[in-house]
Structure 1
Amino acid sequence: MALFLFTNIKGFINLWMTLSDSDVDEIIDANLEAIKQTIN
């Protein structure tokens, strides 16, 4: 579970760095929603 969360957060950081024109809050919300769906 920890590895899963770590990879998601690392992916978020990579997306944020490469897609700088995207809104950070939208990326965070999308990632949290994907994590919540996967855990359930």
Structure 2
Amino acid sequence: EASRATHEPFVFLIPVAVAYLLIASVSEWIFARLQKRYDIGFGGQ
């Protein structure tokens, strides 16, 4: 809907893509920190 209203789809899609990448990057960073903090060594060497 938003892209059809402006007739310029990239005006809408680029900020949405940036927001998606930001959320994905932050959540990946959080999960990596949690995994490192709570890793109890199952299956490790």
TM superposition score normalised by structure 1:
0.48
TM superposition score normalised by structure 2:
0.44
> Which is greater in Rg?
2
Structure richer in helix, relative to its length: 1
